[in-house]
Amino acid sequence: MPAVRVDLKAVRQRLWASTTNHSTEGIRTLYVAPSAAPDVIAAAVAGGFDLVTDDPELVIVGGVVLLQSEEPRRRPSSGRPAWGRSAVLRVLALASRPLQQSELASAIGVSQQAVSLALSRLSSTVTRDEHGWIALEGALESWERDYSGPGGTVSYWYGLDDPATQANTALQLLDELGLNAVVSGDLAADTYAPWQLPTTVRMYLPEIIDFTVVGFSPAEPNDATMTIVVPEDPTVAHVAAAFGTRYGGRHLLADAAITLWDLLNTSTAPTEDEAADRLRDVIRSGGLGV
């Protein structure tokens, strides 16, 4: 890739259209700012200049969105979504046997006190028997309705191979870097409950990685064949590690509920609803052995 001369302009306040201008012909302008107004972001997407912001995390170069935040669908007025409480319900909805508070705390990565508080607030969807805590009928549907999504920072990539091959290529790079991935979306759903041919790759990572070194190209969200997410929800990786379902050696599958959410909210396959119904049936039957 040829070198490009850049006129770097860093500002300490929100960037407004009135404060942007173009550099000398042949030199691109790169603005770095805490945040930017919507019309500034639109101008960057149109290719007028390059842009990097912190809130939300956003990188636009040459009119291509290389990095952006994936906000939870519903953010409570108190701030952060209740990731721990949501995960308690999720794990119990997946479980095929009663679980103790200590097991829930270990699987989710929170304290037993946090689990106890969550259980008290989930009294309409969970209960306790002589062996431990169990989910009531409708718990999975309740979790689906209330889960805000994993949030986090997202990068989008395009590859020419089929989804499974793209995932294997990406995972080989992660092996070299010593990083673990949590594979979700179409590929995870196809592992849990085969139904449709996967159309895209979705993976959760601890940090954003440059996949151009293994043949991927940065892409717009609608054109992407692989989506990489550094999730805001910390329980995505915790629960995947606790249940230990392997994918491609050292890597993991997202738990079946996160996979279901991604299937319904991020898959581009034309039969995602049918695939989601099949995955729900497997979860309800206890066939996953969680």
**What CATH number matches the domain at 83-146, 1.10.443.10, 3.10.560.10, 1.10.10.10, 3.40.50.620?**
1.10.10.10
pLDDT digits (tens, 9 = 90+) for 173-190: 999 999 999 999 999 999
C-beta neighbour count of 187 within 10 angstroms: 24
Contact 236, 204 (CB under 8 A): yes
d(CA 83, CA 88) in angstroms, rounded, equals 9
Cα-based distances in Å from 100 to 74, 116, 125? 30, 10, 16
Beta pairing class for 251-253 and 182-184: parallel
pLDDT digits (tens, 9 = 90+) for 212-224: 999 999 998 889 9
217's CB contacts (< 8 A; 6+ apart) are 157, 158, 159
> Nearest 5°: phi and psi at 25?
-55, 135
Domain ranges for the chain, please list them.
6-64, 83-146, 153-284
Burial of 100 (0-12, 13-18, 19+ CB in 10 A): middle
Indicate if the pLDDT at residue 77 is higher than 70.
no
pTM > 0.85: yes or no? no
The sign of the dihedral angle between the CA atoms of 101, 103, 104, 106 is positive
Q: Write out the H or E segment, with its range, that includes residue 164.
A: helix 163-177
pLDDT digits (tens, 9 = 90+) for 112-155: 999 999 999 999 999 999 999 999 999 999 999 999 999 999 99
d(CA 86, CA 213) in angstroms, rounded, equals 37
